[in-house]
Structure 1
Amino acid sequence: MVNYKKIKMKLRWNLLIHLFVFATCANAVQKFIEMPTYTEVDPGEGALLRCRISDKKGVCSWQKDDKPVGICSGKYEWVDKNGPGGGDCSLWVRAATLQLDNGQWQCQVTASNYDVQDALSSPPVTLAVRVPPQSPRIFFNGSYMIPGKDITMTAGNRATVICESRYGNPPAHIEWYLDNERLAQWSQTNVTEIGKVQVWAAHSVLEFEGTRSAHGRLLTCRAHHPSYPSPYYRDTSTMLSVTFVPVVSIVESDAGTLANLGVLEEGTSALTLECRAHGNPRPYVWWTKNGQDVATNGAKLILAPVFRNHSGVYSCQANNFLGTSDSVKIEIDIKYPPRVTWVGPDTVVEANLFSQVTLECKAEGNPPPSYTWYHNPESSACINSLEDCAHPVSVISLSWSGILQLSNVSYDRHGRYTCVATNQIGLEDRSYESEAVTLNVFGPPMGAQSGTAQAWSGGEARVSVAVCANPPPRSATWLWGSLRLNVPSQIGHYRTLEPSMDSGCYRYTLLISNTGMSDARIYVLHVENERGFSFHAVTLTVHDAAHVAPLIAAALVIAALLVIVLCFIWLFRKRRGTMEHETQHV
């Protein structure tokens, strides 16, 4: 039996499904899946303009510059050879040419039906048929800068430079370079050529300020275009000539010159400096010394060898028609060893005993020298004994002034004085010794007022006194008891000798032969010269030889015993050393 109820339900569900499908299909609208984009193509080559539609029901077509394009085999062809029925409306443009194909292209699709507003039209996109532009050209102040011509401007001023690249499609992209440094402050505008709207003129404007650092650098305009051969750009360049007031600096022409300025020595060192001037136009350079012009070899200052008159403050400057540079200074200080130019007050100086004497030494040298005074007494006057007169040369003064003050001079100041001037050049000491100044001290006789002498009875006694005097003594007399014995003379066993002399000092000697105990007494020497006189007492002690003999014998015995003890000690140590040596060998 047929179940009409089930059949009726099935028919109802089928009807609902068909109605849903119909409603869904009726509401589907056409949409772009892919729209055409900017495209470039070389002349004679093919360009693909892509256009794909979802739920396509209308008819595909293309427009160029708002005019319809017909499908033509070998020129304008659908990508799908069977037509755009599947929704792919992409178009091949074959053998592209600038005149026919360069322009704005649009992909269009008619509506699904008359009552559905789903017609499509893509935004216009460019199909550019490439045309290589002319090589770029640079303009300055409205003038074309031919190759090899410089752009001249003044430092501190601003300049506007234009670079153009014409008759290209698409327009060239322009960049600026200063040497190899890419610049950023520029702008570019592109306009179609008058009468040739399918090609472009690219204009780039660069504004910059002239600086000294830009002088002599290469300004380059670079036009990029895919139609150029690799590396796809062309350059045009011009040199920048920035005029500016000179700037100077002092540099060394020889390695180490500036470092050795402090040790330039007269007659041996050489100096070569260069005043390096940076300016445009090329400046004139000159040197001055202490404000006065110096004749030089152009920008070079050559002093070979150097002399002391080369010392001073040197300046160099430069100028051109824009102005004069600031001066740059350098001080040159030539060193030279000392030389004594004067010593005095005279080669021979006379002074009274116990007066004040001033000696002075003058020397030239750089750096300024120090002074050292030396005294060579030449076995000069001594008071106690003539043996002490042989003094070596002695330092008596160190000073920077060269002045030697001798106060309360005595006879021992008599002699030769020399001045030594010393300075240092680099690490080496230099010195110069002056001529000698002889100091003569005048006064009455001077010597020790008292002294002693020793003698043995029966032997010879020698009583002596050293006296200094200038002028020399004119008389001398020994006095004792009631006796008076002039020099030289003899009485009994007393004899006076002629005085021995050594550089202004005199030794007077009284000889007493076969001395007895009665000769022990005080002997007085009276000495006189033109300046005065003096007395000198010497006490003579006479020793009895009879009392001395036992003492001598005792001393000899003690000495002999000491020698014997030392010998025993030496023999003991030697024997002990021998035994230790034998033990070690065993």
Structure 2
Amino acid sequence: SPRPPTPTAASGDGDCSLVLSHIRADDAGEYGLRLEANGTRPTRDLRWFHRVVLNVTATPPAPHLWPKPEPLTHGRSTTLGCWVPPTCPEDTVTLAWDGPATKAPWAKVEAWTPPDLTTSPPGAGISLEFNPPWYLDKSNLSCILRGADGKTLAQASQQLQVHYAPRDVWVEVEPASPVHEGWQVTLSCHDSANPPSYTYTWSLEGRILAHSTAKFILQPVRSQDSGSYRCQATNIVGMVESSPTVLEVHYAPQDVRVEVESPVYEGWEVTLSCRNSANPPSKTYAWSLEGRILSHSGAQLHLSPVQEVDGGSYRCQATNGMGTADSPPTLLEVYYRPRVATLVLLTPVPVLVGTNVILRCELGLAHPVVSVIKWLRNDRQEASTFSPTLSFIADPSRTGTYRCVGQNIAGSTQSPPLAIIVWFGPRSVELLPEPGEGVSEMTTVALRCRADARPPPDTFEWFHDGQALGRDPRGLWVLREVGTQASGRYRCRATNAIASADSPDVTITVYCKGWGCPWGAFGTPP
């Protein structure tokens, strides 16, 4: 040995051990064991029992790490171990961990024996138990072997590989929003994950889209592509969804339409609204009625009160910075009652009893058309028809003041009155003697003739026992100071422009007064 220590003679207890403390590099060499008996024999004659070659390296062997390097999982409890082979009893060595992992939350270092160590006796070891966070990925963890003086004798290191679910997931829009309809737009799902995400799920306003890669190309982009996008990145550890990113697509007005309650009634208040989808929103509007441009530029057109002339086909035109679009026509129906009603008599006048009377109701414009016509006589409903005419046979009972009423769902209009007088010949003719049918001689008798006729009778005639007495327009014939010869049957006849009619006979008896009266002429008026 270059530096053989001086052996100590055996004490007789059989212990011939040699302990080399604080070994150095120059302690390397061949060591042997021999017996020397009090120096009685020359050293050269002594034989070595066994020779051992001791190799001393300048650097102690590095600690061993356990287990073999394998990926860790974010947040999942992990135990790593470090150990060294047994050392000489006089040597004091320690193991220590170094690296960001030692500062991880709830990191704990304890003495430890490797579970699969085959060396006997067991070597010294320490463990590190911790929950690896994602940011320890690609960080170094070292196990350091220090001597008694605290100096580093050797160390072993490994780079940690931490698997973690996608992080910092966000959607990038290129070109930046807002974009114009028709452009090509690329949506990119960015994330940080280990191992990298292998699939992506896209959604628009919560609706899952049929796309599974990190880039989503919209070509050409359309108005319906506007909205809030999210992407969900997935790897073997888990899945994480991004916060929403809004894609705003600018486009010219679409789906332009006029909205209005129709039909409406004349006099109401009506609002027509120009609805459309546009981005940015439409700024100006133009309105037309039956092709005629109206002086209005707002999104709503107010009509108060609405009139007949406001009815028709409306269009609106919406304009924004991207363009202009027209609506299809929308019909506004304005309901109004008949403008005028006039009652016309089609039968020649005068209206004679028994003739066919025809009335026609002439109505002005109405919308919708008149559904029913009511006929009034003396302000009471006489009939109801769908046609504009009414006919009946003339009868005195139908004489009166007539009106027609045109009616639709918007209301009714009544014509001015029309008087219809049915002419008829005398009827119910009667002769009324005054003071009665039995009178005394020298009495004045008034024969009054009455009749119902239209026009009233213009001539009256009186007859005595079939002989005409005379005529008078007043309906009165007077017999003055009658004698018995005036007794007999009387009747009268009434005549107008239509006909003549006689009354029933009336018998008048004249009673004689005094001695000179013939037999049978005596008596007293009743």
Question: What is the TM-score normalised by the length of structure 1?
Answer: 0.50
- 2:234, 2:240 within 8 Å by CA — same for their partners in 1? yes
- 2:359, 2:390 within 8 Å by CA — same for their partners in 1? yes
Q: 1:40-80, CA deviations, whole angstroms, 9 ceiling, x for partnerless residues? A: 469xx9963589xxxxxxx9xxxxxxxxxxx9743599973
2:275: which partner in 1?
Answer: 276
1:85: which partner in 2?
Answer: 117
Q: 1:283-318, CA deviations, whole angstroms, 9 ceiling, x for partnerless residues? A: 565544445544445221211111122233445565
Which of 1 and 2 has greater Rg? 2
Please state if 1:525 is matched with 2:511.
no
- 2:341, 2:414 within 8 Å by CA — same for their partners in 1? no
- 2:71, 2:162 within 8 Å by CA — same for their partners in 1? no
1:403: which partner in 2?
Answer: 389
2:161: which partner in 1?
Answer: 128
Structure 1: distance between partners of 2:488 and 2:468: 14
Q: 1:369-410, CA deviations, whole angstroms, 9 ceiling, x for partnerless residues? A: 43333344xxxxxxxxxxxxxxxx654443344434455x46
1:302: which partner in 2?
Answer: 302
Q: CA 1:519–1:413 in 2, change beyond 3 Å: closer, same or farther? A: farther
Matches for 1:146-161 after TM superposition, within 5 Å:
149-154=177-182, 160-161=186-187
2:249: which partner in 1?
Answer: 241
More helix by share: 1
- How far off its partner does 1:277 sit? 0.5
Structure 2: distance between partners of 1:309 and 1:465: 61
Q: 1:196-241, CA deviations, whole angstroms, 9 ceiling, x for partnerless residues? A: xxxxxxxx22356878784541224567899xxxx98864734241
Structure 2: distance between partners of 1:80 and 1:534: 150
Structure 2: distance between partners of 1:424 and 1:527: 52
Q: Aligned letter for 1:434? A: S
Please state if 1:448 is matched with 2:430.
no
Structure 1: distance between partners of 2:138 and 2:280: 51
Percentage of matched positions with identical amino acids: 19
Q: SS at 2:334's partner residue?
A: coil
- How far off its partner does 1:322 sit? 7.6
Q: Aligned letter for 1:80? A: W
1:206: which partner in 2?
Answer: 216
Please state if 1:373 is matched with 2:375.
yes
Please state if 1:219 is matched with 2:214.
no
Q: CA 1:79–1:221 in 2, change beyond 3 Å: closer, same or farther? A: farther
Q: SS at 2:375's partner residue?
A: strand
Q: Aligned letter for 2:266? A: E
Q: 1:496-544, CA deviations, whole angstroms, 9 ceiling, x for partnerless residues? A: xx34xxxxxxxx788999999985635131536xx57624232226799
Q: Aligned letter for 1:536? A: D
Q: CA 1:510–1:236 in 2, change beyond 3 Å: closer, same or farther? A: same
- How far off its partner does 1:447 sit? 1.6
Q: SS at 1:98's partner residue?
A: coil
Structure 2: distance between partners of 1:325 and 1:49: 73
Question: What is the TM-score normalised by the length of structure 2?
Answer: 0.54
- How far off its partner does 1:266 sit? 2.3
- 1:176, 1:219 within 8 Å by CA — same for their partners in 2? no
Q: CA 1:439–1:336 in 2, change beyond 3 Å: closer, same or farther? A: same
Structure 2: distance between partners of 1:136 and 1:145: 19
Please state if 1:435 is matched with 2:435.
no
Q: SS at 2:505's partner residue?
A: strand
Please state if 1:538 is matched with 2:504.
yes
Q: CA 1:180–1:275 in 2, change beyond 3 Å: closer, same or farther? A: closer
Q: SS at 1:309's partner residue?
A: helix
1:335: which partner in 2?
Answer: 335
Aligned pair count reads: 389
RMSD: 5.6
1:38: which partner in 2?
Answer: 71
1:485: which partner in 2?
Answer: 470
- How far off its partner does 1:185 sit? 3.8
Q: CA 1:245–1:423 in 2, change beyond 3 Å: closer, same or farther? A: closer
Structure 1: give runs of 5+ residues left out of the alignment: 1-33, 52-58, 60-70, 103-124, 189-203, 253-257, 377-392, 489-497, 500-507, 545-586
Q: CA 1:130–1:540 in 2, change beyond 3 Å: closer, same or farther? A: same
- How far off its partner does 1:243 sit? 4.0
